[in-house]
Structure 1
């Protein structure tokens, strides 16, 4: 519809009479008609020689390089890791599946070697190395890479160090108990001892007396023992020699040498016998802790690994 006709219809009503409107309403209607007309006809042609108005001009390559933040280079990052300082980690250490009690501080050298502190090394029962290392702070440590055979892996997700080592990498264990060595008693100083037992009786004009004497001399070469029985009944006196012998003991060997009157050791089917001569035998009474009877032995095996402490 032509703009003039549209304006005419808007100003004149359906009856053909002109509507009386206020100047303000007329100005608003004129502005609305102008906007509708410009939208229907399209944008107005740009006069020749006029430059378009750019709200956001495009960035040039130099401008983008100046405004964009610098991106890190992968090669530089790897170089920083290779030449960086020591890396300290707090990990749980597992030696062949057995976890150590405490959390251990380990340190990775720039070259990739892993250091384990000397305390954890001893707790793991790993054999000490001839060449020791140290942390950056001076703590003594050993390098796992210097041990032939073991392999290790650090799991950062669990902060765990798993070490798999053969039996040759550990300190040997002593399972047999050492033999007890009895301390030999000190040799006695030279001396003499007299032991006696006397008895006397009186009755109805008769009397009797008796005595048992035992003389012992001892020293570093052994002991000499002599015993006798003395008696008197009325006017008759008697003397009887009982035992006379020399004895030398060897406690460290549990052996005894007797020269003179001796008493043998009876078995299960015989009785001791008294005889005169030389006796060389074993005396287990010198070491009471020695057990001469057969003992019960206990043995067993387990399907799972076990630890003996």
Structure 2
């Protein structure tokens, strides 16, 4: 069913026939843009010459960038001539109530995508346990028999992990404590609290590390597996029709993305750098 609508153009940029009344007909059409059929039929306007007009909101819903100046202003809304879109190829089938539009890729808004990142693991609740680690050496000559060993004893629970390391030498019949500490990781804050013996961190080439006893709290990126400390790369391109983009790095597929027609960019591309 069609309705007849008579309006007066309000766009002062259209000089010809500015004072004449232009007749528009509301038409209900199914829209196909670059071979993608839109889900719902829409109401468009058709003038006496057969040209079809769509609102700015309709163009944006279709990801089409509206021109700067509207072709008509009707009821306070900006209308744009679909036939006048840059590079547009239009096919109208009134019997099927169908309008097919083909546009170049640069007529669309850019689609932003990101490479799929590994899901951040959820830290498991720690139970109670312990461990014993050792490295023993026994040197024996006709004159000397010298057993050596380093031993680490540790325990852990929901409050963190504690460890003590000792150096044992059989001939001395005594042990030397190397370091003892208790540490607690905070994955959500990417930080670690350490109480006891520790080693300071100095900028490479600017100082030396020192051993000290006390409290240390600082950033620890080891608590966030998969966190990249290097700038992530972005690739971009364009597609005229719905496409699948495969991104390869060193001949290995790193991401696969479905993109609609138009320009696209894919971020978070893992690029090998430095030590890998």
Band of TM-score, shorter chain: 0.3 to 0.5
**Greater RCO (Cα-Cα under 8 Å, separation 6 or more):** 2
Answer with 1 or 2: which has the greater Rg.
1
Higher fraction of helix: 1
Higher fraction of strand: 2
TM-score, with normalisation over the residues of structure 2? 0.47
TM-score, with normalisation over the residues of structure 1? 0.43
